[in-house]
Amino acid sequence: MSDARRIEWFPPFWLMRVKVVKLTDSWRVVRIRLPRTWIAKNAGGSIFGGFQASLADPIAAMACVRMFPGYSVWTRSLELDFQQEGMTDLELRFDFSLEQEALIRNDLESKGRSTPKFEYAYFLADGSRCTLVKSSVAIRPKDYRKSEKTGFSQ
């Protein structure tokens, strides 16, 4: 099954009726439509922020898993800035630049780990930005363990 179908058929995303518009093999470019369905709308008629957060949460981490196999990867933090009401279907647009990849590879080579920050966004049907997404991703060796005493890795 393709990555696009896995995303669409992932139970929470399937219930949200997301549609992968574009997904390159490298995950450098990701476009996913989040439809404004009756279940996705809040009392004011716009798309729930929780729907937006749920879809945005794993995208940067999933791109890093594809880009840096062999590492343990997870979302470290997620921040959404709701700049306009989501009164149309939304399109999540994520781009992974060559420069970002080079910085992460440098971190992994020099420090053995990386915590990159990504910015991506949801866009309304007219192309205007609706929600800014800021995500921090932890990329660690598979055997990484946080020290319980100091909070630093051993």
pLDDT digits (tens, 9 = 90+) for 113-132: 999 999 999 999 999 999 99
Q: DSSP letter for 47, please.
A: B
Alpha helix ranges (H) inside the chain: 3-9, 11-16, 49-56, 59-67, 98-111
Tokens in use for 34?
């989040």
Q: Which pTM value belongs to this model?
A: 0.90
Q: How far is CA 113 from CA 31, 70, 74, 143, 151, in A?
A: 27, 12, 12, 12, 15
Q: How far is CA 82 from the centre of its chain?
A: 16
Please report the domains of the chain, with CATH numbers, ordered by start residue: 3-141 (3.10.129.10)
The bridge status of strand 71-82 relative to strand 90-95 is: unpaired
State pLDDT tens for residues 64-115: 999 999 999 999 999 999 999 999 999 999 999 999 999 999 999 999 999 9
Tokens in use for 128?
């205007």
State pLDDT tens for residues 136-146: 999 999 987 77
Tokens in use for 87?
């009164």
